[in-house]
Homo-oligomer: A and B are copies of this chain.
Amino acid sequence: MSDPTRRGAYSEAGVDIDAQDEALAEVKDLARGTFTPGVLTEIGGFGGLFRPDLRGMDEPVLVASADGVGTKLMVARKARRYDTVGEDLVNHCVNDILVQGARPLFFMDYVGAGVLEPDAVVELVRGVARGCRGNGCALLGGETAEMPGFYQPEDYELVGFIVGMVDRPRLLDGSRVVPGDLLLGLPSSGLHTNGYSLARRILFEHSGLGVDDLLPAPDGGDPGPEITVGEELLKVHRSYLDAVGPLLDEPALHGLAHITGGGLTDNLPRTLAEGTAAEIDPTTWTVPPVFRLLQQRGAVDPEEMFRVFNLGIGMVLVVEADGGLEILERLERQGHGPRIIGRVIEGRRQVVYQPGCEAAF
């Protein structure tokens, strides 16, 4: 049962019904605020209805992705800050379908908790709605499930599901990638939504830090601006739709990779054609202080760092050697801070680091 005007599981709720009705009304308003022309709002019902605009499409392909926020949720709870993880979730999902050439149509969320604290639910959905608006993606519906005894107090599970569309001839599947192509990296805002189990272990357990403590500077290099541990860890996962969306029809764009769990090492190969590999020069960008701190405090092997964290690169564009430079300039002009971080070589769909992963730290 999931449409913008009705969410499930309240019927069995153990908490204040009036507060819930209020929250429910607010959640509805938040969802309505994201509606795009494709949403058939006049019709309520059991499912959410969306009419895709198929004009000018030869062969519409739906691209769908499901994701969670992982243990970044536990940082949100520690910081008692529930309005950002929803935006993380939407942006993560948007990036996941963007790399195949798809633009988002609609999003659905699921919120699970032991006891639904109405204010927290509203904050969670507020973040989801903000993320949807920012990406022109309709929050078509959602489910809110109260499961007494299943979740710990103040813990909220947040899961998202996105559906986008791409015309098949424009599908990005790596087949256009050839040796000689350039790899352009776009900066991440922070950890995005990956590596939190390890980061939490290192910062909270091993280093005994709290969310309100100042993030210590790593030894050597730029200490970065003053920021608390909570602020750093809750930085919102960046959406690359505004940067990359306008480039999707450019013949010079050969591939895209969203750098999430698995880092550059595991995600880049997913956009490489057979017979190609990616050569990355880790000295072409400065790994942000938080990652250097995590590497030092956790004594994490540099190769492992490249598998668990994005290390400052959240999206990689594979572009044609010549035409790609124009894309680079465009991204620079628009302030997206692109960097040439490597190139495509012949190989077996793997990533080669020259000179070595340790050079990044």
**Chain A residues in the interface with B (C-beta under 8 A):** 1-3, 6, 8-9, 11-12, 40, 43-52, 54, 59-68, 70-71, 73-74, 96-97, 99-100, 102, 105-106, 108-110, 112, 140-143, 145-150, 152, 155, 157, 159, 161-164, 168, 171, 173-174, 194-195, 197-198, 258, 260-262, 266, 270-271, 307-308
- What's the Cα separation between A11 and B52 when bound, in Å? 35
Contact of A48 (CB < 8 Å), options: B63, B99, B307: B63
Q: Say yes or no: A45 contacts B270, CB within 8 Å.
A: yes
In the assembled complex, the Cα of A163 lies from the Cα of B49 at a distance in Å of: 10
A260 CB contacts on chain B under 8 angstroms: 1, 8
CB-based contact A62/B71 at 8 Å? no
Give the CA-CA distance A63 to B150 in the complex, in Å.
30
Whether B45 pairs with A52 at a CB distance below 8 angstroms is no
Smallest distance from the beta carbon of A153 to chain B beta carbons, Å?
Answer: 12
23 contacts between A and B (CB under 8 A): A1-B258, A2-B64, A2-B66, A8-B261, A11-B261, A11-B307, A12-B198, A45-B100, A47-B96, A47-B97, A47-B102, A48-B64, A49-B171, A51-B60, A62-B62, A64-B141, A66-B141, A66-B142, A68-B110, A70-B145, A74-B149, A108-B161, A148-B197
Residues on the B chain within 8 Å of A49, using CB: 61-63, 100, 171
For A71, give the chain B residue with the smallest CB separation: B147
Quickly give the copy total for this chain. Answer: 2
A47 partner, pick from B11, B64, B266, beta carbons under 8 A? B64
Is B70's CB under 8 angstroms from A140's CB?
A: no
**Contact status of A173 and B46, CB under 8 A, knowing A59-B51, A108-B66, A261-B11:** no
Asked whether A47 lies within 8 Å of B65 as measured between CB atoms, the reply is yes
Which B residues lie within 8 Å of A71 (CB)?
A: 147-150
A108→B67 CA distance, assembly (Å): 10
Complex CA–CA separation, A74 to B67 (angstroms): 23
Residue in A1, A66, A174, A266 with the greatest tally of chain B CB atoms within 10 Å? A66
CA distance A70 to B147 in the complex (A): 6
Interface centre among A52, A70, A149, A266 (most CB of B within 10 A): A70
List, in ascending order, chain B residues with CB within 8 A of A59's CB.
51
Q: Using A3-B65, A46-B97 as known contacts, list a sample of 9 further A-B pairs with CB atoms less than 8 Å apart, ordered by residue number in A.
A: A1-B260, A8-B260, A9-B68, A9-B70, A44-B270, A51-B61, A54-B54, A64-B108, A73-B150
A174 (CB) vs chain B CBs: closest residue: B45
Complex CA distance for A171 and B60, rounded to whole angstroms: 21
Q: Is the CB–CB distance between A164 and B1 below 8 Å?
A: no
In angstroms, how far is the closest chain B Cβ from the Cβ of A110? 5
Bound together, the chains give a CA A6 to CA B266 distance in angstroms of 11
Q: Determine the chain B residues whose CB is within 8 A of the CB of A149 once the complex forms.
A: 71, 74
B46 touches A99 (CB 8 A): yes
Question: Out of B46, B64, B161, B261, which one reaches A9, CB within 8 Å?
Answer: B261
State the Cβ distance, A230 to closest chain B Cβ, in Å: 18
Most B CB atoms within 10 A — which of A9, A142, A152, A258? Answer: A9
Q: Which of A45, A73, A149, A168 has the most CB of B within 10 A?
A: A45
Q: Which of B52, B62, B266 is within 8 Å of A50, CB to CB?
A: B62
Beta-carbon nearest neighbor of A65 in chain B: B47
Known: A11-B261, A65-B141. A74 touches B164 (CB 8 A): no
- From B6, B46, B66, B270, A110 is in contact (CB under 8 Å) with B66
